[in-house]
Amino acid sequence: VGVVTYAAMEGNNTDLDPAMLQTKKVVVQRVVDAIRAAFGSEIDPNPMVTPATKEEFGDFQCNAAMGLAKSLKKKPRDVATAIVEKLDIADLCVTPPEIAGPGFINLKLTDEYVKAKMKHALQDKERLGIAKRDPAQRIIVDFSSPNIAKEMHVGHLRSTIIGDCLCRILEFLGHDVLRLNHVGDWGTQFGMLILYLREVAPEALVDGSDLDLGDLVVFYKKAKARFDEDPEFQESARKEVVKLQAGDEESLRGWKTLCNQSRIEFNRVYDILDVKLEERGESFYNPFLKQVVTDLQEKQLAVENEGAQCVFLEGFTSRDGSTQPLLVQKSDGGYMYSTTDLAAIRHRTHVEKATRVLYVTDVGQSTHFEQVFQVARRAEFYPPSVSLEHVPFGLVQGEDGKKFKTRSGDTVRLRDLLDEAVVRCKADYTRRMEEEGRAETSEYVEEVSKVVGIAAVKYADLKNNRVSNYRFSYDKMLTLTGNTAPYMLYAYARIQGIYRKGGIDITSRVTSLDLKLDKPEEMSLVRLCLRFDQILEVLETDLKPNFLCEYMYEVASKFNAFYENCSVLNAESERVMESRLAICDLTARTLALSFSLLGIKTLERL
């Protein structure tokens, strides 16, 4: 038995010991101390501690020896041995640590430490002992961002689902997150649309009009066609834009009505998805656009080019070898999508004081953001400590890998897409209930279908590496096997089923100190669950929800192995049963927390 110094192990300390829960931090500090003790305090003690890549390697791996060996001109294995000799870690890890390969130091937490940590996690059932970041960061997440008078498409769905998930993770970590919906609610297209509607459907422009977004989209297409073929209409549309931009009351009223109608549809989708967003569209930045261009000119970044204002970019060359410009003002005085983004960067970093800004859009906009970020940096529009990050994602494709469309070739309305998932889920579920001879109330079936259907759409999206394209398939996302939402939700409900069967009230149960985790399946599952904080650490920087989905799937798989090999309710002794119930609790809470970070509701019973 290793030396256990943590007061918690004596059983007289009910407070959480934060140091205990941030195991990696402690390990890193010990390694740093050891390197200094072995090679002197002048040395750069880069500890290079990472989670172990394989279970048999233990819990952590220290890769410092290889780098140090180079600068010290020693053999890596000798360096590793010297570090291990000075490493004072017996209260956490099995000693002496194993040295593997050229000089990896494998660190395995002692069983006692794991048990103590598990108990701590279960004393803080909501957060599982995971501390909030201190200091917290002010982070803006710009996501969803559909366009007024246009249908919200599957790209916006991905942005909404991924963006919401990232917000939930960052919020959980204690950051101060502002969720912004940068809707496309400004631009020359509104002149054209208002003009056209005034001609053909003036009632659409007054408050309380019952036009829905679908009608608007149709009008939008017709207005565009008219604009393209009729020069006179074009001219009037331009004048209309000028009127709107000058704040003409009637134009503004029409524009607001269009925004309201679109917003109703957007909000329906957000309600179904349970996503909260603050709308701050392009129009919000309109008053600041002129200043952006003036400042760019003053800094001699913006120059005139054929009547337009451009900034010549570094590292972007056109095909003919000339430097590519970023257009910030057209020759007719109109501003660009990028001008708005430049104004938004200033506002977000100076007024909102964000130190990190994330933009969740499809990869197609990568160049746009690279260029805008570059110009903003060169113009010193934001403090150098701020991090602006484009968080790109791939296309949503149909099952055939082609563009995602309805059978008739139209764009799929998001509300229909989500409804369809629920309907299919209900059909599946009802059939299964019949097969099993179960009777459930129709409200219950309704509830289950809603939760599972929406979960399926979200999970199918989140579990893919976001940068890849992904094929939308109801059949795949709704199957009960493999890494799908239904499978994961069943895994969670199965654990709740154990409590029901045993008549156990898990919430009021106090995890005993006297945990007995002798079977390999037990230890392996517990160690995995206790890695949650490290998973979150990776997510915080990489912003890839699929990493969390993979983790959950691994937890569920390990739980199955545990459940097959270790009887919970018929365990050989009271003490073993208590331990196993605690393992169930830890697993279920790990899954529940993961689901909540993905924006997915859970069910206690399915």
For binding to ligand ARG (CB under 6 A), which residues are involved? 142, 145-147, 182, 184, 341, 344, 359, 361
- Whose Cβ is closer to ligand ARG: residue 348's or residue 527's? 348
Q: Which residue is nearest to ligand ARG (CB)?
A: 145
Report the C-alpha dihedral over residues 581, 583, 584, 587, rounded to 10 degrees: 160
- Whose Cβ is closer to ligand ARG: residue 165's or residue 344's? 344
- Whose Cβ is closer to ligand ARG: residue 115's or residue 182's? 182
- Whose Cβ is closer to ligand ARG: residue 120's or residue 156's? 156
Distance, CA of 407 to CA of 154 (rounded, Å) = 15
- Whose Cβ is closer to ligand ARG: residue 344's or residue 526's? 344
| Residues forming beta bridges with residue 533, ordered by sequence position | none
Residue 235 Cβ, how far from ligand ARG at the closest point, in Å? 27
Residue 183 Cβ, how far from ligand ARG at the closest point, in Å? 7
Residue 364 Cβ, how far from ligand ARG at the closest point, in Å? 8
- Whose Cβ is closer to ligand ARG: residue 379's or residue 422's? 379
3-state per-residue secondary structure call for 26-69: HHHHHHHHHHHHHHCCCCCCCCCEEECCCHHHCCEEECHHHHHH
Residue that the structure tokens 């897409």 belong to: 417
- Whose Cβ is closer to ligand ARG: residue 145's or residue 188's? 145
Residue 209 Cβ, how far from ligand ARG at the closest point, in Å? 24
Taking alpha carbons only, the member of 115, 108, 111 closest to residue 93 is 108
Q: Tell me the pairing of strands 49-51 and 278-279.
A: unpaired
Phi/psi of residue 49, each to 5°? Answer: -95, 125
Q: How many helices (H) and strands (E) does the chain have?
A: 21, 14
- Whose Cβ is closer to ligand ARG: residue 182's or residue 263's? 182
Residue 344 Cβ, how far from ligand ARG at the closest point, in Å? 6
Amino acid at 1: V
Residue 379 Cβ, how far from ligand ARG at the closest point, in Å? 17
| Residues forming beta bridges with residue 106, ordered by sequence position | 61, 98
Residue 216 Cβ, how far from ligand ARG at the closest point, in Å? 16
Residue 269 Cβ, how far from ligand ARG at the closest point, in Å? 14
- Whose Cβ is closer to ligand ARG: residue 184's or residue 191's? 184
Residue 411 Cβ, how far from ligand ARG at the closest point, in Å? 13
Phi/psi of residue 387, each to 5°? Answer: -110, 120
Residue 369 Cβ, how far from ligand ARG at the closest point, in Å? 8
- Whose Cβ is closer to ligand ARG: residue 336's or residue 478's? 336
Phi/psi of residue 135, each to 5°? Answer: -80, 155
Amino acid at 401: G
Structure tokens belonging to residue 390? 């484009």
Residue 350 Cβ, how far from ligand ARG at the closest point, in Å? 16
Distance, CA of 265 to CA of 111 (rounded, Å) = 54
- Whose Cβ is closer to ligand ARG: residue 182's or residue 466's? 182
Residues with Cβ within 8 Å of 544's Cβ and at least 6 positions away in sequence, in order, are 465, 466
Q: CB-side exposure of 373: number of CA atoms within 13 Å?
A: 17
Distance, CA of 50 to CA of 73 (rounded, Å) = 24
Q: What are the residue ranges of helices labelled H in 463-573?
A: 474-478, 485-502, 520-529, 532-542, 545-565
Distances (CA, A) of 249 to 149, 184, 464, 480, 488: 20, 21, 47, 56, 54
Using the Cα atoms of residue 140, residue 182, residue 263 and residue 454 in order, give the sign of their dihedral: negative
- Whose Cβ is closer to ligand ARG: residue 336's or residue 451's? 336
Residue 391 Cβ, how far from ligand ARG at the closest point, in Å? 11
Taking alpha carbons only, the member of 43, 39, 47, 27 closest to residue 88 is 27
Residue 368 Cβ, how far from ligand ARG at the closest point, in Å? 7
Distance, CA of 58 to CA of 348 (rounded, Å) = 44
- Whose Cβ is closer to ligand ARG: residue 361's or residue 511's? 361
Q: Residues of 154-193 as b/e, b for ≥16 C-beta within 10 angstroms?
A: bbbbbbbbbbbbbbbbbbbbbbebbbbbbbbbbbbbbbbb
Residue that the structure tokens 């257009």 belong to: 327
Residue 151 Cβ, how far from ligand ARG at the closest point, in Å? 11
CB 575 within 8 A of CB 603: no
Amino acid at 190: F
- Whose Cβ is closer to ligand ARG: residue 103's or residue 187's? 187
